[in-house]
């Protein structure tokens, strides 16, 4: 592990210890809060269940077998270490909140399957109709094979984002290790860490936050992934993988042109999307690109398990017969404009004010009105989200080392569309979750074909 990465890892572990209070408490019992106020991001992602199931999955392969009883205990302890994980979301006309679920009602949050048909079993787990806001927000299934275990972590986006899943896995690893040493170990709850956007926004002056908001506010949608209907049936997903050699080629291509891997992926996304939708040449097209706000925090970690992903809205026009390198120049110019002006802070400021102040019933009506408009105009912002590079140390479980990992994005229905990606060590993966009652499998497969064809070889 590089020295810089090692120091970040140690700092991350210290945060986990601070947040999870990995101290043994025999005499002192800390009371968990009965209610937790919903943050602005909680409300936003909860309302976006109108366009998708908002469930994110992380699939991790380990050589060797996980100690299942200890893992189950670690999950139970995580519900205490991070109180939000033991709660369900409760709607309220003004201020929704999370409320603790009685431990007697915790059901099937940690399962072990002696796997015989892994692909089918994983498919069933990922596509099951499960509402992580009305039950525990976190669920794990282990698919046991002869010499390895595949762990699938299921979380509701209302409670956390992709980076939050990685933080949760580090917390789970810490608890797992403690319980291996002492089965009676008890974790103290993180009661001081905020889950809201204010943990980031407080570092910027009002004038600066206002300026970046007005400079980069959300433009009108200009295209959409073509849908065939609005039915929420036929839940499914597609995952594509790129071998290490192709990843290295993309990396070299970017280095030669002073472009990030994310820039190159975004170029391929724009070009593939334009080809699939027959976009008009010369017309500016807008995409939502998610931003992890943890990069603004000193420890690069949130104070508590939460969602700290906001967005920017880069747009560009593609001309007829335009070369990949020309589109790359446009993407670099667009992204550099955002990078110079606090990317994601403007949208965070907007979300925190709108969703943090308006009554929930009003927000619900506004969201439904916006979705209706997207359906009528057949235009909505496609979402491009990249968890980035994930290292082995972020997914270890006790002495078990991960050998593979990939992300599966929420299952969407019209007009919602999310294209997700993650790089584990040097293996890239791309995923799209969708309902076949909304989108044809052929169109999704075609888009992925176009996308991979566009990437440097």
- In whole angstroms, how far apart are CA 112 and each of 66, 68, 142? 10, 7, 5
As given in the structure block, the two tokens for residue 254 are 């970017």
Q: What is the pLDDT of residue 213?
A: 86
- Residue 5 above 50 pLDDT? no
User: Using 50, 70 and 90 to split pLDDT, how confident is the model at 30?
Assistant: confident
* Domains of the chain, each with CATH number or no CATH: 3-181 (3.30.559.10), 198-389+409-454 (3.30.559.30)
Q: What is the phi/psi pair of residue 103, to 5°?
A: -55, -25
Closest CA to 178 of 402, 16, 403: 16
User: Using 50, 70 and 90 to split pLDDT, how confident is the model at 372?
Assistant: very high
Q: What is the pLDDT of residue 105?
A: 92
Q: What is the phi/psi pair of residue 306, to 5°?
A: -165, -175
- Residue 27 above 50 pLDDT? no
pTM confidence score: 0.92
Task: Spell out the alpha helix ranges (H) of 65-182.
Answer: 68-81, 118-127, 162-181
The mean-pLDDT minimum among 7-21, 129-143, 271-285 falls in: 7-21
Of 239 and 218, more confident: 239
DSSP conformation class of 426: T
Do you know the residue count of the chain? Answer: 457
Q: What is the pLDDT of residues 239-260, one digit of tens each?
A: 999 999 999 999 999 999 999 9
- Contact call for residues 400 and 64 (beta carbons, < 8 A): yes
Mean pLDDT of the chain: 92
- Residue 25 above 70 pLDDT? no
Q: What is the pLDDT of residues 173-195, one digit of tens each?
A: 999 999 999 999 999 999 999 99
Q: 411 by DSSP, 3-state: which? A: strand
Q: What is the pLDDT of residue 218?
A: 80
Q: What is the pLDDT of residues 77-126, one digit of tens each?
A: 999 999 999 999 999 999 999 999 999 999 899 999 999 999 999 999 99
DSSP structure string for 87-106? EEEE--SS--EEEEPPGGG-
Q: What is the pLDDT of residue 373?
A: 95
- Bridge partners of residue 297, in order along the sequence: none
DSSP conformation class of 68: H
The mean-pLDDT minimum among 19-28, 78-87, 116-125, 307-316 falls in: 19-28
DSSP structure string for 324-369? HHHHHHHHHHHHHHHHTT-TTHHHHHHHHHHHHHS-HHHHHHHHHH
DSSP structure string for 282-318? T--EE-EEEEEGGGGSTTSS-SSS---EEEE--EE--
- In this prediction, what percent of the chain has a pLDDT beyond 70? 94
- Contact call for residues 108 and 138 (beta carbons, < 8 A): no
- Residue 225 above 80 pLDDT? yes
First-to-last CA distance in the chain? 28
The mean-pLDDT minimum among 20-24, 125-129, 154-158, 288-292 falls in: 20-24
């Amino acid at each position: 592990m590089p020295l810089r990465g090692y120091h970040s890892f140690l700092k991350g572990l210290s945060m986990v210890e601070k947040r999870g209070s990995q101290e043994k408490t025999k005499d002192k019992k800390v009371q968990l809060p009965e209610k937790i106020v919903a943050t602005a991001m909680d409300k936003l992602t909860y309302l976006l269940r109108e366009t998708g199931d908002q469930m994110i999955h992380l699939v991790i392969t380990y050589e060797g077998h996980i100690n299942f009883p200890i893992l189950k205990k670690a999950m139970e302890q995580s519900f205490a270490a991070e109180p939000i994980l033991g709660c369900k979301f409760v709607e309220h006309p003004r201020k929704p909140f999370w409320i603790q679920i009685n431990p007697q009602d915790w059901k099937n949050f940690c399962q072990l399957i002696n796997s015989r048909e892994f692909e089918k079993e994983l498919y069933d787990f990922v596509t099951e109709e499960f509402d992580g806001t009305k039950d525990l927000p976190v669920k794990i299934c282990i698919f046991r094979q002869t010499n390895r275990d595949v762990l699938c972590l299921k979380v509701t986006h209302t409670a956390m984002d992709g980076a939050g899943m990685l933080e949760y896995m580090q917390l789970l690893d810490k608890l797992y290790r403690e319980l291996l040493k002492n089965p009676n170990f008890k974790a103290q709850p993180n009661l001081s860490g905020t889950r809201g956007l204010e943990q980031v926004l407080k570092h910027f002056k009002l004038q600066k936050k206002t300026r970046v908001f007005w400079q980069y506010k959300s433009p009108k949608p200009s295209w959409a992934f073509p849908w065939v209907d609005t039915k929420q049936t036929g839940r499914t997903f597609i995952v594509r993988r790129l071998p290490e050699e192709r990843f290295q080629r993309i990396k070299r291509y970017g280095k030669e042109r002073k472009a990030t891997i994310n820039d190159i992926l975004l170029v391929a996304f724009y070009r593939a999307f334009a080809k699939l939708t027959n976009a008009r040449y010369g017309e500016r097209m807008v995409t939502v690109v998610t931003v992890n706000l943890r990069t603004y925090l000193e420890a690069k970690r949130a104070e508590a398990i939460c969602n700290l992903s906001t967005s920017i809205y880069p747009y560009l026009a593609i001309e007829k017969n335009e070369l990949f390198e020309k589109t790359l120049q446009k993407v670099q110019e667009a992204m550099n404009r955002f990078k110079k002006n606090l990317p994601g802070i403007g949208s965070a400021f907007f979300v925190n004010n709108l969703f943090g102040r308006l009554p929930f019933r009003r927000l619900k009506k506004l969201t439904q009105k916006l979705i209706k408009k997207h359906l009528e105009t057949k235009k909505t912002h496609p979402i491009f989200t990249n968890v980035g590079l994930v290292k082995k140390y972020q997914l270890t479980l006790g002495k078990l080392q991960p050998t593979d990992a990939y992300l599966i994005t929420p299952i969407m229905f019209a007009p919602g569309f999310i294209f997700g990606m993650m790089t584990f060590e040097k293996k890239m993966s791309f995923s799209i979750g969708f309902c076949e009652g909304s989108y044809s499998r052929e169109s999704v497969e075609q888009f992925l074909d176009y996308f991979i064809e566009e990437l440097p070889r």
